[in-house]
Amino acid sequence: MESIKDKVAIVGMGCTSFGELWDKDADDLVVEATHDALKDAGVEIKDIQAAWLGTMERFTGATLSSPLQLQYIPVTRVENACATGYDALRNAAFAVAAKVYDLVLVVGLEKLKDHGFGGLPISLAADKWHPVYGSQATAPGRYAMAATRYFHRYGLSREEGKRMLAMISVKSHYNGARNPRAHLRREITVEEAMKAPIVAWPLGLYDCCGVTDGAAAAILCRTEDAKAFRKDYVTIKGIEIIVGPGQGKIRPDYDWTHWEETERAAQVVYKQAGIKNPRKEVDLVECHDCFSIAELIAVESMGLCPKGKAKEDIESGAWTQNGEIPVNLSGGLKSFGHPIGASGCREIFEIYKQIQGKAENPSRQLKNVRLGLAHNQGGHPGKFMCGVCVIGAP
């Protein structure tokens, strides 16, 4: 087996605005994200040799090739719950690294707001459908069980726990407010977050990410060819998906306070990328914060913060823009939004722009960004499919 490190480069990226895009359908999102990426790479659609589409709700490669009028090329539709974006990117990267194709397109897409109600359709629950077992569970209901257990395990009172989670959302909203493409661009306070209506105790309205439409796209080639497209290309240092055996609801030793799949995916990717001390070496982290507790446990599980110490770390400001590990500088799923298939690519878009010094809204630009870590996980506690990716300056 060989490492993927530095074999594949990203030479163009695009991203639509994320939000409740009532006037756009899935085709519009595909066209806009793709053409932004093509423009960024300085290539035309006819130069694309193969494409990968990551999306949960739509099927077949035609979802990509029809709106784009792709002329008879291979198109694969990929799905792995919220890790869809990384799985699409990863498969495209392997094809390029294997030298089967030279220039490929990845699009992450989700159009959720035609359903007619707030919240996720339950069908996207990434669990085996069953008439009665787990039948009325929701995503916030399941994640909230991790929060309850985390509070209990680390001796946090209800108030302390909710305050800790609120600070995460406040930080993400502050970032999102300064991101022109984000879905939710309003700052919130800790008090607002703590007093917000409960969605699934202990998670309140501001602990849950929005339901959003959006798409993001990337154009990949082998690193040795990247210079021909641009000087400031970015390379993939490590990328992996880990799918666990998914028995967390059945095994009595599942502790509900760490994400095993995330832990293992991060370890694999750190090894690929040659990262020994992630907290020091990684300049920013985009991670899966569908719920505030998801971000908290992900950061701990990726070894960026000692287990059980998130509260102190958050209170010290370590996860803010000026802190040691800026987490979700884009606003995260929380405030940028979470069109499921698109989020993986969108996280990479943020890091890509930061490395190039082109962060949208200069107030969010970090200095000397060399390495960024991105994380997504689909499913729910006990049954995750997790994608982790590190990209960096060549």
Partner 1 sequence: MDIGIVSFSGYVPVHRLPREVIGQAWGKQVRSGEKAIANWDEDSLTMAVQASLDALKGFQRQSVGALYFASLSPPYLEKQSASIIAKVLDLDPSAFTVDIANSARGGTLALRMAMDALKAGSAENILIASGDCRIPPPNSEMELNFGDGGAALLLGKKDVAVKINDCVSLTSEFMDVWRRDLDRYPQTWEDRFVIVEGYNVLLPKAISGLLKKVNAQPKDYRKVAVYGPDSRSLGALLRRMGFDPQTQFQTSLFDSVGTTGAAFSMMLLAQALEGAAPGDRILLAGYGDGADAFDLTVTEQIQKLAQGKKLGQYLRSKMTLSSYGRYLRFRNLMEWEAERRAPDKSSLTVLHRESSQILSLKGHQCKKCRTIQYPMQRICTQCQSQDQFEEILLSDRKGRIFTYSMDERAMVPDLPNILTIVDLEGGGRFYSVMTDRDPEKVAIDMPVELTFRKMHEGSGINNYFWKVRPVQG
Q: Which is nearer to partner 1, 97 or 137 (CB)?
A: 137
Q: Are 30 and 63 in contact (CB under 8 A)?
A: yes
Find the catalytic residue in 338, 375, 380, 389.
Answer: 338
Closest CA to 184 of 337, 385, 354: 337
Q: Is 122 in the site for partner 1 (CB under 8 A)?
A: yes
Shortest Å distance, C-beta 279 to partner 1: 28
Show Cβ contacts of residue 38 under 8 Å, excluding neighbours closer than 6 positions: 12, 14, 44, 45, 219
Stretch that binds partner 1, among 13-21, 243-251, 260-268, 282-290 (CB under 8 A): 243-251
Question: Nearer to partner 1 by C-beta: 153 or 370?
Answer: 153
Binding residues for partner 1, how many (CB under 8 A)? 42
Question: For partner 1, which is the closer residue by CB, 247 or 361?
Answer: 247
159 near partner 1 (CB under 8 A): no
**Beta-strand relationship, 214-222 and 103-110:** antiparallel
Range 198-217, binding partner 1 (CB under 8 A): 198-203
Query: In terms of CB distance, is 3 or 135 closer to partner 1?
Result: 135
- Say if residues 265 and 82 touch (Cβ distance below 8 Å): no
Taking the least distance from each CB to partner 1, the nearer of 122 and 228 is 122
Contact call for residue 323 and partner 1 (CB under 8 A): no
**By CB under 8 A, which span of 175-183, 191-199, 272-280, 366-374 interacts with partner 1?**
191-199
| 115 in active site | no
**Cα–Cα distance between 164 and 77 in angstroms, integer?**
39
Q: Please identify which residue in 3, 59, 62, 119 interacts with partner 1, judged by CB under 8 A.
A: 119
Beta carbon of residue 116, minimum distance to partner 1 (angstroms, whole number): 5
The pattern of x and - marking residues 46 through 85 that bind partner 1 according to CB under 8 A reads ----------------------------------------
DSSP state letters, 333-346: HHHH---TTTHHHH
Distances (CA, A) of 175 to 171, 298, 330: 6, 19, 6
Contacting residues for 226 by C-beta, under 8 A, at least 6 apart: 9, 11, 233, 235, 394
- The answer to whether 345 is a known catalytic residue is no
In the bound state with partner 1, the residue whose beta carbon lies nearer, of 116 and 180, is 116
Antiparallel, parallel or unpaired: β 75-78 and 284-286: unpaired
Work out which of 76, 138, 321, 365 binds partner 1, going by CB under 8 A: 138
259 binds partner 1 (CB under 8 A): no
Distances (CA, A) of 353 to 53, 153, 280, 284, 326: 22, 39, 21, 12, 15
186-192: list long-range contacts, CB under 8 Å, 24+ apart.
Answer: 190/163, 190/166
Q: Annotated catalytic sites, by residue? A: 82, 338
Q: Give the interface with partner 1 as residue ranges (CB under 8 A).
A: 115-117, 119, 121-123, 130-138, 140-149, 152, 197-203, 245, 247, 249-252, 254, 256
